[in-house]
Amino acid sequence: MSKALKIFFKIVKILTIITGVLFVVYFWNLDQKLMAWLYSQVNKIFDRKKADIRF
């Protein structure tokens, strides 16, 4: 029984840590901040390319 409780508490501990990390990402909107930074980096790369658009 003791081994089962140890496994149960490890699972609860891991789920608590995952929930905490996800809450921090949600609370400070870190995913959108990362995507905004990545979007600006990609725009810098593509703004350097010469465009030859003809109509």
The whole-number average pLDDT for the span 29-47 is 93
Q: Residue ranges per domain, the chain?
A: 2-47
pLDDT tier, 50 (very low <50, low <70, confident <90, very high otherwise): confident
| CA–CA distance, 6 with 12 (Å, rounded to integer) | 10
The answer to whether residue 37 scores a pLDDT higher than 90 is yes
DSSP 1-39: -HHHHHHHHHHHHHHHHHHHHHHHHHHTTHHHHHHHHHH
- Dig out the tokens for 25 from the structure: 């990402």
Q: Is the model's pLDDT at 35 over the cut of 80?
A: yes
> Does residue 30 register a pLDDT over 80?
yes
